[in-house]
Structure 1
Amino acid sequence: MQHALYGPEGFFTSANDGPADHFRTSVHASPLFAGALLRLIEAVDAALGRPRTLQVVDVGAGRGELLAALHDEAARTRLADRLRLTAVEKAPRPARLPAEIDWQRTVPEDVVGVLLATEWLDNVPLDVAEVDPAGRIRRVLVDPADGSESLGGGIDAADRLWLARWWPGAAAGERVEVGWPRDVAWADAVSSVRRGCALTVDYGHLRDARPPLGTLTGFRGGRQVPPVPDGSCDVTAHVAVDAVAVSVGQPYRIITQREALKALGVDGARPSLDLARSDPAGYLRALSAAGAAAELTDAGGLGAHWWLLHEVGIDLRGSI
């Protein structure tokens, strides 16, 4: 999985195309998502006392779509001259990215502001295991050439400890996804925040509702495909959000995207028909925005994403 996603010709490191050509995220769905995040960023700015420089760091930035949208949205606000945007990504810098956006491979230190990660942790590589008929948990091995699978040896002590706490009780034939690499990755990223907040948004599940057959899958060209780890497709697995949350050692909140976006002013309500009579063009714009908001908050789709928010030295209660 590591090689297929981040190797020399990996899915995310290849300069040929971007993730947006293969799957749709909230960032790609509508500028309303960036607008909502900007309102959160403004709340963090206020809680920090409006520092001279406010950092926004996007981990797993793809081709910089979210930061580019935030750059455009912030141009009309009091943040315009104080915002420092940094993309953290292993892929090459896109040619058309605004020059004001920094591009680097590692998370900067001593962040004062907001650290974001939208659909990053689901692509942090992990091992998949399966319970055999004798009740032994064994690694699932995959042939990179064709995706064929077999069961290998048993898991190690670190895997067993994590599963005992976060994915217990799997029965014969069931699969588990050993999520501690995501815990480590997120804890390491959040440790860079000196003051502000860290937010990750992703597909996920909680301890009481782990999927018995796991979630490992692939995406290519807008379609779900078998997760063959040959670099030609996205290979992804949902995130054990509660395990990731506890790993950080900072206060946290876990809410659905539907709840979060509604708190930030995105609710998907249809505009009044009175507007259609007084301002037909305005009504059409509002109707289009309502459709985009409905997609972002759909409880059966993007609205079911989990938002994990850590406040570091500030209090955002009342903002989200």
Structure 2
Amino acid sequence: MEIADVLRETSAVAIFSHIRPDADTIGSALALGLALRSRGVQVAVSFPGPEALPDTLRELPGSELIVDDADLAPAPVAVAVDAATVERLGGLASVFSASERTVCIDHHVSNSGFADLDLIDATADCTAVLVLDVLDALGAELTKEVATCLYAGLVTDTGSFKWARPASFLVAGRLTAAGVDSAHWSRVLMDSHPFGWFAMVSAVLATARLDETACGGAGLVYAVVDAEQMAPMSWEDGESVVDIVRTAREADVTAVFKEATPGRWNVSLRSTAQVDLVPIAGSLGGGGHTRAAGYSDRGTADEVVARLRAAL
């Protein structure tokens, strides 16, 4: 594997996670960083602001490798993990592109490749399993700490294995055999919220609307989280609302509109079985997977909802 060869020969690596970092991008970055550091490589991991890293993800091993985005400099090798486009690197895109050799490791079907070397596999359930392939090619040791970071990406991107492919269960077996406390990390990453989250969810669910005729009869359910409701929450806690709304059995497509700041929205899309979300998100400037995608928009709540409905 050429990517493994490049990483084997370099003395320094900068690893880039995407904007609004989730467990897959941070877990993948830290796993790769820890493995390379153990081989004597100088490692810096970062992600673009303005959103902060959720506290739960700062508990992952290797978080000491994370540097402020303002302090990240071009490196001999730059690796982007779990970013479907270079734009997903936000303000760090220019730092990535200025590095001597660039690598992209990703599993989004919408990723057409943007690095010197691309490892893109849309059949992988998460980027973490592709990072594991790279580590295997390097001959790196699968320590408990590295395995824990990879498990974070695997368990979250498969929804606690609810939609995991068979290969992911084999990977989970390797990771737990390496010492991952799966019960602990599944709770921390999937089943843990501040008490104030309950009031926010209650208010948001009151906004939920159902249109069973949308998407050619597949159905749409959506809800809105305004800036005032989002303010006391981490973006991660706001993102988790989609997993509640998507349980409406009358709709194949779910949308949750999250207002990060007044008039600035992040939209999460999910589908259960029928609708391909990639062209929908793509038409609105976003991307993702067939069953999970997203995009950003600006305007009032009514305006952003109307634009999505027009795109369906």
TM-score normalised by length of structure 2: 0.29
* Larger relative contact order, structure 1 or 2 (CA cutoff 8 Å, min sep 6): 1
User: For the pair shown, which has the larger CA radius of gyration, 1 or 2?
Assistant: 1
Which protein has the bigger strand share? Answer: 1
